[in-house]
Amino acid sequence: MPEKRERTTESARAVGDEIRKHTADLVVAYNAADLDRTLAYFAPDAIYMPADRPAMLGVELLRKHLSHVFASGVELVALTCDEFASAGEVVMQRGHYLRRVPRGDHHTVEQRGTYEATWRLQPDEEYRVTSLIFGHRRLESDGLRRP
């Protein structure tokens, strides 16, 4: 069994840095449409709730959903953390997101909104997302054309 992490102010900063890096890496994996690498950031029983769909429980439902999303060419441009808090083995993030969704005729629509994520230290001593909830969004046509 892995050794338990020591909890200090220094380690809290390190956890914050680790979660920020995981978040950035998650966005990279998502934009590369790398399903396995994206799902590796989620706990097996994670809750995922898109802004326009019901909540999903577990990575198998998330796998099905993201397979469809990736096939459609959606890009998650940014998850920007506005607030961050940790309590023991749980880390909470709140922020805003931007994603681009292809629509017909080579147009792209931007979706903007808020998100809340909870990361929990897993038995293998890695932090994984246990819930990711996307909030209200605004749809704006940004006039972008896809090549």
- SS3 of 51, please? coil
Q: How does pLDDT run across 63-88, given as a tens digit for each residue?
A: 999 999 999 888 888 899 888 898 88
Q: How does pLDDT run across 3-43, given as a tens digit for each residue?
A: 454 555 567 778 888 999 999 999 999 999 999 999 999 99
Q: What is the per-residue pLDDT for 139?
A: 45
Distance of CA 39 to the CA centre of its chain: 10
Q: What is the pTM of this model?
A: 0.82
Name the CATH code of domain 9-145 (choices 3.40.50.720, 3.40.640.10, 3.40.50.300, 3.10.450.50): 3.10.450.50
**110-136: burial string, b at 16+ Cβ within 10 Å, e else:** bbbbebebbbbbeeeeebbbbbbbbee
Q: What is the per-residue pLDDT for 23?
A: 94
Query: Is the CB of residue 57 less than 8 Å from the CB of residue 45?
Result: yes
